[in-house]
Amino acid sequence: MSIELERHGHIALVRLNRPEARNALSPEMVVGLVETWKELRDDDNVRVIVVTGTGSCFCAGADLGELAPLLSGAKTPVTAEDKAIAADNSLIFQAVLRDFDCEKPVIAIINGHAIAGGMEMVQGTDIRVAVPGAKIGVQEVKWAIFPAGGSSVRMPQQMPFAKAMELLLTGDTITSEEALAYGFLNYVVPPEELLPKAMEIAEKIAANGPIAVKAIRASARACLGLPGKEALALELVHAMPVFDTEDAREGPLALMGKRQPVYKGR
């Protein structure tokens, strides 16, 4: 399977599994990712999603040899996945988390280079842990292509504007250490510490009230870039329903009772 899914309690681990092609997104992978994101969004038992690659590369982006001919009409769709993408090319944007929101925290384990669509998928995540020396960037401009997976919007929001513009317009890459310094990554750790570090973070999040986690994440994303007064008003739209939940009553009771809370997501 080119997309592997494991469940560890309330944590889902998604693996891009096409190491021989640097996990470049084939039609099968695109459709598989979209199906996986939807499945995890709709699974109430899943509270945190972790995504990584197999082998020495996180994701080299779209497999242009397979996807580009489908989009241009130069290739006749053969497989069911080919036909799905030919009929709806927005599936590619959903796969890299541009046009799809899992509605739950997504942690990226960047086990190697994250280039083009791979970098754009990382931009769609919330928390990022990477190995030393991984190359990160969007190089589409070098080939007269637009990085349309959200990069011209998200990169200037997620790292200093001037650096984001340099990377967008030159097509250069930066190392994970540089990305950490720019605030684009949370941690850079040795390869053997990648999964433990990501799971440590995921377990902390999964132990919290799931409704509160989803609402806080949704508010932070929705309010990003809005004027202060408008953002604060929108924050309350996300916040107030949380106070009416069973979990919001359980949390303070557990605190006062000096016990671990038992959250039920309702």
Q: Provide the annotated active-site residues.
A: 120, 140
- The three-class DSSP label of residue 2 is coil
- Retrieve residue 231's tokens: 């953002």
Residue 224 in tokens: 């990003």
3-class DSSP state for residue 52?
strand
Adjacency order of strands within the sheet including 135-137? 57-59, 113-115, 135-137, 174-175
Residue 245 corresponds to which amino acid?
T
Amino acid at 11: I
State the CB neighbour count (10 A cutoff) for residue 219.
Answer: 18
Neighbours of 184 (CB within 10 A): 22
**Contact assessment for residue 33 and residue 1, using Cβ atoms and an 8 Å cutoff:** no
Q: In what order do the strands lie in the sheet with 11-16?
A: 3-8, 11-16, 48-53, 106-110, 127-130, 187-188
Rounded Cα gap, residues 52 and 118, in angstroms:
10
User: Which regions of 17-116 does DSSP assign to beta strands (E)?
Assistant: 48-53, 57-59, 106-110, 113-115
